[in-house]
Structure 1
């Protein structure tokens, strides 16, 4: 530790460059991780909010809620601890005030029964009590400046929706969710209200005993029970997005290890003569090798720590519209991997140190 730290203090510029490279790579990895996690969460936060175990869709829908359609009476065919109806449709809303009436916002409408468990927790305002009222995701307030009691109009329709409340973390397929009544959903989707038992919805969401689907059953052959994890993975683009960012971050970690390993190897080769002199003075190869490894660990730790601080600092000034979300479990795992792989890379330099012949090194 003494040798490693004093050498860093002596050659500040040289080792600052190594720390700088490590910082840039670590910053890039952490920032991409935050973006990947934030974008992934924007696809699923409304689903996570259900705290459900499964979703029942029509069998021919291929686990795609947009393609699923079933009669509302099918709710009686499902046996589970808790069961809830869900009508879902995409839409584009416009402000009704003259100043921003041309602003168009992509949203998702969830038609639900207010007495069932899909009803979200209201963080501001109140719950909807009648048709054409809605609880909106708070991002509409933060990003689009939509306030309580504002009214919005569905593009291509004359239906006016009044925002009576806000809830947090309610996005589906990267669009903010508006919770409303099933009747309102039918007006928005089918342009008419069907009050019969054949009224159509997209899905039935279920909770099982002890968060298990073992005792959940449906007596209709045309319906399919899908675990929530499977449903999320089958969301359009979700799995491909997660895999793409995952491979990108993984490759960056490997590149970081290679870069720091090359730097340490080159520095070690430049100090071959010094190591030869140290060996001639009786300093063991083990002591020299351990100082190289400790030095690598210090440099990697400084670079990763500064990169993490830079990422946290950047997240504080990012616009609200950027889908960035910190996950400290991911950050900690990635930091540990980068440190571990960098130290493993230093072992290639250690082999050079061990093989140094004092007489040849001195010349």
Structure 2
């Protein structure tokens, strides 16, 4: 330990350079992890908040189900009659509008039954009313200047939505959510701008049926009978637009960073070990055991990698605070600690590439064995 720390001080320039590289890798991994989590939350946080265990889509919808799926009222009633299942229809679509004060609003319209378990809890204002009209907006829309008492007018349709209350932060497809009664959602979803029959009643169809299923619920048999395809709530995240592609892209970047870290650290310590072969041979000639040389090398590697990773994690956390809510970035403590552990493990794995050369140092080198 003493000799390892002495070498760190003696060659502080080289170790500082290596430390800076690890700092940048750790910071980059932390920032990419924050964007991965933030983008995921910004895409499916509204689905994560659904108090449901499963979501039943129409059987013909295999991708982008919330946009492609349509189930009718008879299917929804069939699910409601299933033993061990609570069921309520839901609608999901994206629209836009503006308030009377000229505030533009992009809105992921979530149609729910005000008396069902999907009805949102409000932080301020009032909730949805059975048989009434209006919208409960997410916190992001309120932050953009929309207030309780405003009226959102949907573009090209002229449908007026009084803002009743504000709920927590929730998004779908990077668009903040507004919760409204199913009848209002159907008018938005099925109305055609400028059509002659715009005043006709919309069809009794929905995007999906949200389910609360108990342990004895026969979901597969119900799917066969009702012609639906049921997914667990978390599996339904892939039905949100862009979610799967974003996850694959960001996780691929993280994978390459985790592959780069051990290669960079391993290359540095490989060169450092080659340069220290005479010193290692001298230690062996003086009676140092291979186990001690291994400990010596691992102490140096752990000191550089752990210290640098902690600094890099601090930079990533600072970047998150600096970005604030300007971009979808989320780096909770558990994710940050996981990043520290993963980068540390990857760096130490790179060090393992050099251990064979450390243990193979020949004491005869210093005793004239090469003469």
- Alignment TM-score, normalising by the size of structure 2: 0.87
Cα deviation, 1:43-81, whole Å, max 9, x if unaligned, reads: 211111113122122222225121122322432211143
Matches for 1:1-363 after TM superposition, within 5 Å: 1-62=1-62, 64-78=65-79, 79=82, 80-97=84-101, 101=102, 104-129=104-129, 131-142=132-143, 144-191=144-191, 199-210=204-215, 214=219, 217=222, 220-360=225-365
Change (3 A) 1:362 1:301: farther
Further displaced range: 46-55 or 160-169: 160-169
- Alignment gaps of 5+ in structure 2: 192-197
In 2, the alpha carbon distance for the partners of 1:13 and 1:156 equals 65
CA distance in 2, matches of 1:56, 1:280: 73
Moved more, 24-33 or 160-169: 160-169
Quote how far apart the aligned CAs of 1:359 are: 4.2
SS of 2:49's equivalent in the other structure is helix
Q: Which moved more, 1:225-234 or 1:42-51?
A: 225-234
Shift of 1:190: 2.6
How far apart in 2 are the matches of 1:316 and 1:22?
21
> Any unmatched runs of 5+ in structure 1?
none
Higher mean C-alpha displacement, 275-284 vs 219-228: 219-228
Give the number of equivalent residue pairs. 357
Return the alpha-carbon distance in structure 1 between the equivalents of residues 231 and 277 of structure 2: 63
Deviations for 1:76-109, whole angstroms, at most 9, x for unmatched residues?
A: 2111431112122210122321xxx3x6443210
The alpha-carbon deviation at position 272 of structure 1 amounts to: 1.9
Superposition RMSD in Å: 2.5
Q: Are the structure 2 counterparts of residues 70 and 341 from structure 1 closer, same or farther at C-alpha, using a change threshold of 3 Å?
A: closer
Give the structure-1-normalised TM-score.
Answer: 0.89
State the 1:319 CA deviation: 3.7
> 1:138, 1:267 → 2: CA distance?
54
Aligned to 2:194: none
